[in-house]
Amino acid sequence: MSNRMWGGRFATGPDAIMEEINASIGFDQRLYKQDIAGSIAHATMLAQVGILTQADRDAIVTGLKAVEQEIESNAFTFSRSLEDIHMNVESRLKELIGDPAGRLHTARSRNDQVATDFKLYVRDAIDTFLAQIQALQLALVKRAEEEVSTIMPGFTHLQNAQPVTLGHHLLAYVEMLGRDYGRFEDARRRLNESPLGSAALAGTPYPIDRDATAAALGFDRPTANSLDAVSDRDFILETLSAATLCAMHLSRFAEELVIWSSAQFGFVKLSDKFTTGSSIMPQKRNPDAAELIRAKVGRIMGALTSLMMVMKGLPLAYSKDMQEDKEVAFDAMSSLSLSLAAMTGMVEDLVPNRERMRASANAGFSTATDVADWLVRQLNIPFREAHHITGQIVALAEQKGMSLEGLTIEDFKFIDHRIDSRIHKVLSVEASAAARKSYGGTAPENVAVQVARWRTALTGVASEPVKVKRSGGHGDGGATE
């Protein structure tokens, strides 16, 4: 008896080991919606150009919709012996409608069929990512608006550097996510060409209408080269690349949440919804959701690397190696979607400890740069000299065991007699943040403007910046009275 999938060329079925390594139905069954949609579009086009009768087309479409309903109601039995989603659907279709099912595969191959299915799936996944990224951005923007003036330490090398606002810090991730959004949009635009009708590799002699199937499936156009159409996996590689960058951004923020929520920092409290306890230590609140997000980038980047290695040495056109594209990609895309959802939930439930953040920002002589800048602006001292003088001031404060704000005017004059009492205006962390009004800087007024810009961009509704309350004596960062 010949193999029922491959026809008369094969006299027997595959070895059990061959069936094990060859079958993909265990993971590609999630393509059922895309596979059925592609088949309906193909059958409709075949009827339009006269290759199928309208009666056969109607029977096929009715049967395919019945198969889809069976799958969605868990009444469908997937068979490993039928290898993949395409043959499982077609086999069940034949059981339901008989001979017309055998005409469905006219003028196509599993090669262009799987490329079409996979593109449709990835396109759907990208659309989900775009919505999820915007939801996370909106959550961050809302938080940033609430924390426009909240002072926290800005770090370099994870050491106190200069005071910033929490709103400014959160908006940094909004910017990163904005670029992630753009990369996914770019990937979606490039993948949106239909491989359907390219057949195995060389096209088909049948008078098909590829523009019709492309339009029916929401593609911008059919692919222009049949060899490229069936062997291209750029679209998933590019999507995985964008996913890796997005996951990396999430991982960086997750790392900060882990640090910030520790007892040593105490900057934020994560809600019970996104933390876990300990089986032995009753006091513990573990930031497990953040830690798992931090780890997901490894799986996502691993999928990108894995598929890149699969594709790097393949000659045109289709090779069975390319079956390895889906399992890792499915896992990566699910991981990113879950990470985006979890991060959005954590941001929405986050409770900042403003007092702790301000106290930390005030440690480590974080306004030292403001002192140096004041020396340059007010006393016309060259920056290098001002830098040296400020270093001496910091050393004196350290010796006395106090902050820069705690030094008296006599202390400053001991270091340099030219310093006068105006210097006290620049020593607070609020003054430091408020002074940084350059475009993109952390000044609360700037942050309010950026919040309004992003809220407008994300919602399509014009938004005005919130008014920032000025703290007395902190407004000009050292201007003369």
β-pair partners for 286: 276
Find out whether the peptide bond into 317 is cis, omega within 30 degrees of 0.
yes
CA distances from 214 to 120, 211, 359 (A): 11, 5, 60
Q: What is the pLDDT of residue 400?
A: 92
Per-residue pLDDT at 478: 36
Tens digit of pLDDT for each residue in 352-399?
A: 999 999 999 998 888 899 899 999 999 999 999 999 999 999 999 999
Judge contact between 174 and 236, C-beta under 8 A: no
**CB-based burial of residue 81 (10 Å sphere; 0-12 exposed, 13-18 middle, 19+ buried)?**
middle
Contact 139, 253 (CB under 8 A): no
Residue-level pLDDT at 469: 77
Residues of the chain below pLDDT 50: 1-3, 472-481
Cα-Cα-Cα-Cα torsion 235, 238, 240, 242, nearest 10 degrees, comes to: -140
Integer angstrom CA distances of residue 143 from 115, 146, 150? 42, 5, 11
> What is the reported pLDDT for 81?
86
Find tokens 């960086």 and name the residue: 252
86 belongs to the catalytic site: no
Nearest 10 degrees: Cα torsion 205, 208, 213, 219: 60
The tokens describing 282, both together, are: 């009753």
Closest listed residue to residue 424, CA positions, set 442, 411, 437, 415: 411
The pLDDT of residue 1: 32
C-alpha to C-alpha distances, 281 to 140, 270, 277, nearest whole angstrom: 32, 18, 8
**Number of helices (H), then strands (E), in the chain:** 18, 6
**What pLDDT does residue 17 have?**
78
Say what the pTM is. 0.90
Which of 170, 118, 479 has its CA nearest to residue 343? 170
Q: Which of 2, 79, 262, 278 is catalytic?
A: 278
Distances (CA, A) of 206 to 51, 108, 112, 359: 8, 10, 15, 75
- Given this model, what pLDDT does residue 10 score? 59
Helix (H, G, I), strand (E, B) or coil at 144: helix
| CA-closest candidate to residue 107, choices 33, 50, 35, 24 | 50
Closest CA to 305 of 253, 240, 376, 351: 240
User: What pLDDT does 474 receive?
Assistant: 39
Q: What is the pLDDT of residue 19?
A: 67
The tokens describing 191, both together, are 């993948």
Catalytic site includes residue 42: no
Q: What is the pLDDT of residues 54-77, one digit of tens each?
A: 999 999 999 999 999 999 999 999
